[in-house]
């Protein structure tokens, strides 16, 4: 590159030298003293000295080139200096203007760049969000593992004044000689949260009653898997209540979750054994309690080898579990040898079981075990429940069949009242009636159903003495706390006031009375149950269903007069041959709890499709009273079956994993395939003004077809088919 530049410079210099030579020649030829001789001599001399002059010319050319180069650089520098001096002032002005323009351009460019950056960032964020959403929809679900939080107190600050809350899972007992009561709870249990206030009320009442000797009330979080309570007991149901005295004798509560029953249970444990001093004490106890367990024990120092008193107290703690039916048993001890002999206790440490009539029921001699006596007591207690009064206890037990078993045994008289306990006025009144009713010389008389006799007396409130021996369809008696079993009481209408209901062996209500319950009313009800008399106190059971004896115009009419869309069917084979959509509920009977819970949503669905009753029917089949075909004999009830009108034999069964509610049932019905289900979906979506508009359009098209048919009779097949279609649709939506 440098050589090329030098060559170009040399060429420029030669051109300049040639131009100068030409100018000099012109000046020479134009001069006045120019002569031919001198030029000739010069030329001749040049020719003679050719060698020397050639060398001199080359040297002179090189020197001229160097001078020209020097002159050229000097000229360039001088020219630049001249130009700078000429444009100095305008250049300064141009630089300022240019700087201002650059500054304004930078500002405009910065604003444009910020907007572009924001748009790009927003687009990138939206794209990332969409990608994460798609990945979340397509990726398999994984369980979310939440870190374990710190344990928190279960009871409120004001409640912890009476209750020590061991929410860390440790079990603490009383440090003095008082009884310890411990509640094992789960902070996530609904029943435990509901019972928290009841437990606090119990602790507060016991503190007020016993003062400093009140039991110690504690609570332990037994749900934490790492706690001592969970490792020791491994509970599956919450809450659980335990009581333990200073002698390490324990009892587990199995009664209703109610502060009244819990307080009564703790008071019984505080005085588990009663000491008999005389026969009068025994007679007083027999008036209230059905079973009396008596131990003959003489206090000695030192005590004998067989610790009968300790074992007897432990037996009382083990048997008294808070169940109202266990309160019928009283544990007593006798120290006097003469009085013990009257009770047929001839040897020390013997135990006898006596009834309320002071009859000896059983004897356990020295060396008895707690298990043997407890088993004997349970057997005697069941016999007493059949012959005396049984208490319904569903508050603590789950899936109890106590009420169903009672209905299956015989006819039952149910007494709904509040705050049931042994010894109060209502219990004592019913107990006297039961003893009078069963005062029969012949025991264990079998009850045989027979046609009701038409014997009447003038006054039905007379005594029921010996009625158990003279009539069939005898009654058993049960008391129900309407506050604890509120749902059952509301079913019979006994949630507001006391009520007595008589139910026969077919589980039909024969008579009932409510309000101020007296002994005369109950006697009258018992006589009426046995078809002996009629009285103004008693209301017929039919009046619960219908206010008059005249049959209703609509056979599917409930108590409030609204038409029911569900019909009861005895032969389900007729439904399978129907040309409509049939939704059939197979229930397990009136006492089947799962079937009972499905009846209400089934009625709601039937009421939802009442405008489409020309397309769909809702039916109910009681599987407990109907012989079903082999293909409809379901193993698990309730079961909902949907049959199609498009094809006989095509049906769908409601999935077991779906919850039975009216929304799920309606969606399941509407999602079935078929033309008739399409019509049902259209009718379900077209309501009100839409249906009126559809009727008007169908009538107009039907009229047009009839006019077309009157003008052209030859091609009448298709118009007639369309007219029939519109007639069916109009009947369907009318």
- 389-424, pLDDT tens digit by residue? 888 887 655 557 788 888 888 888 999 998 777 778
Residue 103 has pLDDT above 70, yes or no: no
Of the chain, the percentage scoring pLDDT greater than 70 comes to 65
* Rounded Cα distance, 434 and 386, in Å: 11
Q: Please give the distance of CA 284 from its chain centroid, rounded to a whole number.
A: 51
Q: In this model, does residue 229 exceed pLDDT 80?
A: yes
Q: In Å, what is the CA distance from 709 to each residue of 263, 501, 706, 719? A: 88, 69, 5, 7
pLDDT of 604: 85
221 vs 622: which has the higher pLDDT: 221
User: Mean pLDDT throughout 647-655?
Assistant: 71
- One fold for both 159-248 and 273-387? yes
Query: What is the residue-wise DSSP string for 636-687?
Result: SSSEEEEE-SSSTT-EEE--TTS---HHHHHHHHHT--SHHHHHHHHHHH--
Q: Which pLDDT belongs to residue 468? A: 64
> What is the mean pLDDT of the segment spanning 245-254?
89
Q: Do 57 and 49 meet the contact criterion of CB atoms below 8 Å apart? A: no
Confidence of residue 545 (pLDDT cuts 50, 70, 90): very low
Question: Mean pLDDT throughout 527-551?
Answer: 47
Give the model's pLDDT for residue 396: 54
Q: Is the pLDDT of residue 135 over 60?
A: yes
pLDDT for residue 97 is more than 90: no
The pLDDT value recorded for residue 603 is: 86
Average pLDDT (483-504) is 86
Query: Tokens 């008082």 correspond to what residue?
Result: 178
Model pLDDT for residues 184-222, shown as the tens digit of each residue: 998 888 888 889 999 999 999 999 988 888 999 999 999
**pLDDT tops 90 at residue 331:** yes
Place of tokens 């503190």: 207
Average pLDDT over residues 17-30: 56
Does 40 score more than 80 pLDDT?
no
Residue listed under structure tokens 């009448």? 716
181 vs 597, which has greater pLDDT? Answer: 181
Q: Distance (Å, rounded) from C-alpha 373 to C-alpha 371?
A: 6
Average pLDDT estimate for 149-168? 87
Residue 328 DSSP code = G
Q: Where is average pLDDT lowest: 68-77, 216-225, 305-314, 526-535?
A: 68-77
CATH class, domain 159-248, is: alpha beta
Which of 146-150, 490-494, 707-711, 721-725 is most confident?
490-494
Class of the CATH-defined domain 566-685: alpha beta
Measured CA to CA, the distance from residue 584 to residue 634 in angstroms comes to 13
Q: For residues 84 and 242, which has the higher predicted lDDT (pLDDT)?
A: 242
Contact 426, 517 (CB under 8 A): yes
pLDDT at 446: 43
How would residue 726 be classed by pLDDT, with cut points 50, 70 and 90? Answer: low
The whole-number pLDDT of residue 450 equals: 45
Q: Identify the weakest region by mean pLDDT among 230-234, 533-537, 638-642.
A: 533-537
Boundaries of every domain in the chain: 159-248, 273-387, 401-545, 566-685, 689-733
**Least confident interval from 18-22, 268-272, 611-615:** 18-22
Q: Give the model's pLDDT for residue 683.
A: 67
Residue 351 — pLDDT band, cuts 50, 70, 90?
very high
Whether the per-residue pLDDT at 728 is higher than 70: the answer is: no
Contact 351, 294 (CB under 8 A): yes
Q: Which residue did the predictor score with more confidence, 163 or 528?
A: 163
pLDDT-wise least confident of 20-24, 429-433, 461-465: 20-24
Predicted confidence at residue 221, as pLDDT, reads 92
Q: What residues contact residue 698 under an 8 Å CB cut-off, 6+ apart?
A: 726, 729, 730
Q: How far apart are CA 29 and CA 526, in angstroms?
A: 170
How much is the average pLDDT of 329-345? 91
Range scoring the smallest mean pLDDT among 42-46, 48-52, 344-348, 516-520: 42-46
Q: Which of 509, 513, 515 minimizes the C-alpha distance to 541?
A: 509
What pLDDT is recorded for position 447?
46
Is the pLDDT score of 509 beyond 60?
A: yes
Task: Render 568-589 in DSSP notation, one character per residue.
Answer: E-S-THHHHT-SSEEEEEEE--
Mean confidence (pLDDT) of the chain: 75
Rounded mean pLDDT, 373-383: 91
CATH class of domain segment(s) 401-545: alpha beta
Of 549, 551, 587, 594, nearest in space to 569 by CA: 587
Q: Calculate mean pLDDT across residues 227-246.
A: 88
pLDDT at residue 462 above 90? Answer: no
Superfamily of domain 273-387: Glutaredoxin (3.40.30.10)
Higher pLDDT among residues 33 and 258, named by residue:
258
């Amino acid at each position: 590159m440098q050589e090329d530049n030098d060559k170009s410079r040399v060429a420029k210099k030669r051109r300049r030298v040639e131009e100068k030579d030409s100018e000099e020649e012109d000046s020479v030829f134009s001069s006045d003293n120019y002569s031919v001789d001198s030029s000739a001599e010069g030329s001749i001399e040049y020719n003679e000295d050719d060698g020397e002059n050639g060398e001199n010319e080359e040297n002179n050319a090189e020197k001229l080139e160097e001078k020209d180069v020097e002159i050229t650089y000097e000229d360039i520098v001088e020219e630049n200096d001249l130009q700078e001096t000429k444009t100095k002032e305008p250049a300064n002005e141009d630089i300022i203007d240019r700087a201002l323009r650059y500054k304004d351009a930078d500002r405009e460019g910065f604003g444009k760049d910020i907007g572009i950056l924001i748009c790009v960032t927003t687009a990138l964020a939206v794209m990332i969000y969409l990608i994460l959403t798609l990945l979340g929809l397509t990726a398999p679900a994984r369980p979310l593992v939440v870190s374990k939080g710190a344990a928190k107190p279960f009871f409120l600050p004001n409640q912890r004044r009476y209750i020590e809350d061991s929410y860390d899972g440790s079990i603490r007992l009383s440090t003095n000689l008082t009884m310890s009561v411990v509640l094992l709870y789960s902070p996530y249990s609904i029943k435990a949260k509901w019972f928290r206030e009841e437990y606090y009320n119990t602790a507060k009442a016991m503190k007020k009653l016993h003062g400093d000797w009140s039991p110690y009330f504690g609570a332990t979080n037994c749900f934490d898997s790492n706690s001592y309570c969970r490792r020791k007991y491994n509970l599956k149901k919450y809450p659980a209540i335990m009581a333990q005295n200073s002698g390490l004798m324990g009892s587990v509560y199995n009664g209703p979750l109610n502060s009244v029953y819990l307080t009564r249970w703790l008071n019984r444990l505080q005085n588990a054994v009663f000491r008999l001093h005389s026969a009068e004490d025994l007679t007083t106890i027999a008036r209230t309690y059905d079973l009396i367990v008596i131990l003959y024990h003489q206090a000695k120092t030192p005590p004998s080898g067989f610790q009968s008193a300790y074992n007897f107290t432990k037996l009382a703690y083990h048997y008294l579990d808070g169940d109202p039916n266990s309160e019928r048993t009283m544990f007593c001890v006798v120290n006097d040898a003469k009085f013990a002999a009257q009770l047929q206790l001839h040897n020390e440490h013997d135990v006898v079981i006596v009834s309320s009539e002071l009859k000896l029921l059983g004897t356990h001699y020295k060396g008895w075990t707690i298990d043997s006596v407890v088993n004997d007591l349970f057997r005697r207690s069941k016999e007493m429940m059949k012959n005396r009064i049984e208490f319904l206890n569903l508050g603590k037990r789950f899936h109890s069949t106590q009420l169903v078993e009672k209905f299956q045994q015989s006819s039952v008289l149910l007494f709904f009242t509040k705050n049931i306990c042994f010894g109060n006025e209502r219990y004592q009144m019913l107990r006297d009636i039961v003893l009078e009713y069963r005062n029969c010389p012949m025991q264990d008389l079998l009850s045989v159903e027979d046609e009701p006799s038409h014997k009447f007396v003038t006054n039905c409130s007379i005594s029921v003495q010996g009625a158990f021996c003279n009539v069939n369809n005898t009654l058993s008696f049960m008391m129900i706390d309407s506050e604890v079993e509120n749902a059952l009481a509301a079913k019979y209408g006994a949630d507001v006031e006391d009520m007595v209901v008589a139910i026969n062996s077919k589980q039909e209500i024969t008579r009932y009375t409510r309000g101020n319950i007296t002994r005369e009313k109950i006697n009258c009800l018992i006589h009426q149950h046995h078809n002996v008399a009629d009285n103004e106190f008693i209301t017929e059971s039919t009046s619960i269903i219908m206010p008059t004896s005249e049959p209703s115009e609509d056979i599917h009419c409930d108590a409030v007069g609204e038409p029911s869309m569900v019909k009861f069917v005895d032969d389900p084979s007729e439904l399978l041959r129907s040309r409509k959509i049939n939704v059939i509920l197979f229930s397990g009977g009136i006492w089947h709890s799962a079937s009972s819970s499905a009846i209400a949503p089934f009625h709601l669905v039937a009421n939802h499709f009442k405008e489409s009753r020309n397309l769909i029917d809702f039916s109910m089949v009681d599987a407990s009273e109907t012989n079903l075909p082999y293909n409809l004999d379901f193993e698990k009830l309730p079961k909902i079956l949907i049959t199609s009108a498009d094809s006989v034999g095509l049906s769908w069964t409601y999935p077991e994993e779906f919850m039975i509610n009216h929304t799920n049932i309606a969606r399941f019905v509407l999602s079935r395939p078929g033309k008739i289900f399409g019509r049902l979906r259209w009718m379900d979506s077209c309501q009100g003004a839409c249906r009126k508009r559809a009727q008007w359009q169908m009538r107009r098209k039907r009229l047009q077809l009839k006019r077309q048919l009157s003008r052209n009779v030859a091609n009448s097949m298709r118009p007639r088919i369309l007219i029939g279609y519109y007639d069916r649709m109009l009947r369907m939506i009318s």
